[in-house]
Structure 1
């Protein structure tokens, strides 16, 4: 069983040893936005989702709970959970996309320490470490009463087993944990004024595929699981998806498109470059370093369009045809020529993760005219998100990490139109696997298969459990047409960044 705690929902799936999805369930939950750039969730919503989705997935699979050998969880990264000495939640968890800690991230960026080599373009405010600094500075009583700092993933593992652990992939990815150099760098935390964090983190650090324990008696009763089911350490959400699409060897690239988009590759060497986050050593698979690019807002911009701009007629058409609003959006966007008649959308609605790592960045439309209609806006959004991913891939190539194929998953991978657009803009073939919608759950199940002894390694699990379903090959004429607009997209932010920063600082003062 794989349990994937995403930004908008909890997804649970049961797989057999060949990667066949036996049963699947999705339960949505809310996100709260107290201020511009802030985002929080409720752990009670997470628990209710687990209590609904896990039994439903078991029922849908028609599998006896006793046959579920292992369960593995993943969830959004840098989502901060604080527990007191009685294991009571102290405040609503701060979601990964929350960028309130921009000034704290800047303080870390300006600190003269070797750990900043992972973020040469700037430390992302969405990271757990600056968020903890913000809590310490702005909610001192809560911080002082905090006994344990967890991530969403470790919270789920704790609910399942009663064990508090740290996921090695999360620690290496966002907590400045450097295993080759001995792990935690105490002088780094002292330098940024967060030395007391060490006393609040769980002591045990587990790697993907290692065993935490078994499902506790109480939790098994509530969730309909067996007490004999092993709980295996997984990886953070996007990393689980990378495993789930089979991008498990050096030189590949996974594009995980959800509310945000993550672009991950594995390098045989640890390198560091502006515009590319990482590379994080031994993050996902020992002997490799994780190369990171990504967008803070991608699918969430499409959702924003759906919720605020999509015309009623599109919803009516979707209902009449028994399809989704997104498919209707594809239809009308496809009727608009490349470049949206001179309209460019900048996708920085919740900041920029790469290549600028700018938490104060915000989105915009440039080139609007009275001749533009809602279909032009729809296409410009899809193009803008695609340009953002292509910008990350270009930054990697400029650093020497050349991408020759991309394995994509998530909501965007369900759109043939959008995937072909990505291939055309990047000039790189895009591969879609059979379980692209539940890649995170499959990556979890692969970790469970390794942890329970079914397969000897993640690579062996991928060879047996992952299969390619579609390939989108770049169309050269489209690639040529897109380059003018892509270049203008890349030129835009440096020209307007100071103005946007002033506006964001003004409304947040």
Structure 2
């Protein structure tokens, strides 16, 4: 067992699982572990989870990862946390409260992707309060104030009984340390906290119908707000026993999961301001760091102190990215048999499709030729950026009667190119408004495939950089742990020491004209989908 060095545990809670990784001070991961977490889909747009279920999954993952690492628990100097931007509702004595029609108090989390508050979001946007300047002018139903307003209007007994409303990362650090401190990442990005002024705006909450929170002095949503990685306390006895770590182990203020991917990548090459973090998972998030605020229509932010302390952040992305590709290929008649063949070869379904695409092409860039005539706008859950339009939907054009595996591959490649064109739109509008970038630094499970990386470089026209870390989101949380433990003087120093670039995928000039033509088609199809005539019944 190793005792002579200091180690850090990163905890990542995604949509479908909780993970833990043990890292040394150079950013190398010694071991990791994972537990699935429950997710409950109701009719309509309701998606819920359980705080207790997630906490138990975290504890099991941490214990397994530490044991597998060969590190003594006493040599773990700190833990850091990231999680999806989901709303957790807690009542008296920490008891969970039901947030939906199931009436099950264990289901006390409204998941980030839950769009039950779409109508509340539209009303808040229509109100036009000045704080909306910092979310691209449009509030999203994925943010927390529309969800809180939905609770007040539809489940007033839950709203009134709640002692605390947490973003999921802050809930986890509270379970670990007992501290009610909120991260400036979570409350600035998802709750309209004005970090650059260190205050909530009570006029906003009163204007939208959440007077109670303002009247209470915001005690239920956080009165102590600190930068990510700030030590907010040590592990409490009960939490320490559950996690298998010593009581008093440093706990750092957390991050939203995508932002942890940013912390785990943007310091790998050049400066953070030159790099766009692109976290390609179930959804995708783009994070661009600037020294001065950049107001970009349809892009969230500028947020101060939300990822790299002392800098501003613009956050875009796609509400469905990896999930959109999964959904797209599942629609094809050949998907069942292809999935079986993938399993026989020991490959994931999408890795198998990438393998087929590359096998039919001289170079990864040439795979776009397989999608000739097939065009996809993969906005199954709306457009998060740059249009901030939750009601638009996906478009698939160019399908014939072919039900072969080759047709499935064409649909897959077409979907990936659609993801890339959406990324290009975000990059271009940010540059026009003062947030240019030199490169994309990719992370996330859906971004681990070389075909995906090359297509993103070709479609966006920007180099895509891959870091050495196999789990950059976990690394981002471990960097927070190192900060909480006092191992580095600031986050920039920690990122510089613990992150490194491994490979760069340059845009291929030979397919530039192909993508220019396809991008024009993408824009036209997207405009049709967003037209009043094409709107789905929600509007």
Preserved contact between residue 280 and residue 291 of structure 1 (Cα < 8 Å): yes
Preserved contact between residue 121 and residue 356 of structure 1 (Cα < 8 Å): no
1:195 matched to 2:211:
yes
Give the number of aligned pairs.
504
Preserved contact between residue 346 and residue 489 of structure 1 (Cα < 8 Å): yes
Q: Which residue of 2 aligns with 1:346?
A: 377
> SS state of the match for residue 376, structure 1?
helix
Once structures 1 and 2 are overlaid, which stretch shifts more, 218-227 or 300-309?
Answer: 300-309
* Aligned equivalents of 1:286, 1:218: Cα separation in 2: 31
1:147 matched to 2:163:
yes
Deviations 1:457-499 (A, max 9, x none): 1111112111111110110012221111112212222223245
Matching residue within 390, 395, 409 for 1:359: 390
Judging changes above 3 Å, is the alpha-carbon distance between structure 1 residues 115 and 337 closer, same or farther for their aligned structure 2 residues?
A: closer
Preserved contact between residue 40 and residue 95 of structure 1 (Cα < 8 Å): yes
Q: Which residue of 1 aligns with 2:36?
A: 28
Judging changes above 3 Å, is the alpha-carbon distance between structure 1 residues 356 and 56 closer, same or farther for their aligned structure 2 residues?
A: same
Matching residue within 25, 30, 47 for 1:17: 25
Matching residue within 491, 501, 505 for 2:524: 491
1:398 matched to 2:432:
yes
Preserved contact between residue 120 and residue 272 of structure 1 (Cα < 8 Å): yes
Q: Which residue of 1 aligns with 2:363?
A: none
Q: Which residue of 2 aligns with 1:433?
A: 467
Deviations 1:243-286 (A, max 9, x none): 10134622321101110110101111112121322111222233
* Aligned equivalents of 1:118, 1:412: Cα separation in 2: 29
> SS state of the match for residue 419, structure 1?
helix
Q: Which residue of 2 aligns with 1:126?
A: 142
User: How far did residue 13 of structure 1 move?
Assistant: 0.4
Judging changes above 3 Å, is the alpha-carbon distance between structure 1 residues 38 and 358 closer, same or farther for their aligned structure 2 residues?
A: farther
Preserved contact between residue 12 and residue 441 of structure 1 (Cα < 8 Å): yes
* Aligned equivalents of 2:38, 2:276: Cα separation in 1: 31
Q: Which residue of 2 aligns with 1:103?
A: 119
Unaligned stretches of 5+ residues in structure 1: none
Matching residue within 39, 46, 57 for 1:49: 57
Matching residue within 220, 238, 261 for 1:241: 261
Q: Which residue of 2 aligns with 1:58?
A: 66
Q: Which residue of 2 aligns with 1:83?
A: 90
Judging changes above 3 Å, is the alpha-carbon distance between structure 1 residues 337 and 359 closer, same or farther for their aligned structure 2 residues?
A: closer
Q: Which residue of 2 aligns with 1:297?
A: 320
Judging changes above 3 Å, is the alpha-carbon distance between structure 1 residues 361 and 32 closer, same or farther for their aligned structure 2 residues?
A: farther
Preserved contact between residue 362 and residue 500 of structure 1 (Cα < 8 Å): no
Preserved contact between residue 81 and residue 172 of structure 2 (Cα < 8 Å): yes
Once structures 1 and 2 are overlaid, which stretch shifts more, 159-168 or 494-503?
Answer: 494-503
* Aligned equivalents of 1:412, 1:471: Cα separation in 2: 17
Deviations 1:59-117 (A, max 9, x none): 1111111100000111001x111111232111221111112211211122122322111
Once structures 1 and 2 are overlaid, which stretch shifts more, 309-318 or 469-478?
Answer: 309-318
* Aligned equivalents of 1:162, 1:466: Cα separation in 2: 31
Preserved contact between residue 264 and residue 291 of structure 1 (Cα < 8 Å): yes
Counterparts of 1:155-194 in structure 2, within 5 Å, are 155-194=171-210
Preserved contact between residue 360 and residue 500 of structure 1 (Cα < 8 Å): no
* Aligned equivalents of 1:19, 1:329: Cα separation in 2: 32
User: How far did residue 424 of structure 1 move?
Assistant: 0.7
Preserved contact between residue 276 and residue 288 of structure 2 (Cα < 8 Å): yes
* Aligned equivalents of 1:502, 1:413: Cα separation in 2: 31
* Aligned equivalents of 2:173, 2:156: Cα separation in 1: 27
User: How far did residue 242 of structure 1 move?
Assistant: 0.5
Q: Which residue of 1 aligns with 2:101?
A: none
Once structures 1 and 2 are overlaid, which stretch shifts more, 122-131 or 30-39?
Answer: 30-39
Q: Which residue of 1 aligns with 2:294?
A: 271
* Aligned equivalents of 1:128, 1:504: Cα separation in 2: 24
* Aligned equivalents of 1:41, 1:338: Cα separation in 2: 42
Preserved contact between residue 425 and residue 478 of structure 1 (Cα < 8 Å): no
Counterparts of 1:454-469 in structure 2, within 5 Å, are 454-469=487-502
Once structures 1 and 2 are overlaid, which stretch shifts more, 360-369 or 52-61?
Answer: 360-369
> SS state of the match for residue 343, structure 2?
helix
Deviations 1:289-341 (A, max 9, x none): 10111000001123334656463332333233232222111123443643712
* Aligned equivalents of 2:399, 2:372: Cα separation in 1: 9
Once structures 1 and 2 are overlaid, which stretch shifts more, 109-118 or 465-474?
Answer: 109-118
Judging changes above 3 Å, is the alpha-carbon distance between structure 1 residues 108 and 154 closer, same or farther for their aligned structure 2 residues?
A: same
* Aligned equivalents of 2:486, 2:159: Cα separation in 1: 40
What is the TM-score with the length of structure 1 in the denominator?
0.94
* Aligned equivalents of 1:286, 1:47: Cα separation in 2: 28
1:8 matched to 2:16:
yes
* Aligned equivalents of 1:495, 1:26: Cα separation in 2: 42
1:323 matched to 2:347:
yes
Deviations 1:373-397 (A, max 9, x none): 2222222222222222222112212
Judging changes above 3 Å, is the alpha-carbon distance between structure 1 residues 288 and 339 closer, same or farther for their aligned structure 2 residues?
A: farther
Once structures 1 and 2 are overlaid, which stretch shifts more, 364-373 or 147-156?
Answer: 364-373
* Aligned equivalents of 2:193, 2:382: Cα separation in 1: 24
* Aligned equivalents of 1:38, 1:351: Cα separation in 2: 16
* Aligned equivalents of 1:487, 1:406: Cα separation in 2: 22
> SS state of the match for residue 37, structure 1?
coil
Preserved contact between residue 299 and residue 314 of structure 2 (Cα < 8 Å): yes
Once structures 1 and 2 are overlaid, which stretch shifts more, 276-285 or 300-309?
Answer: 300-309
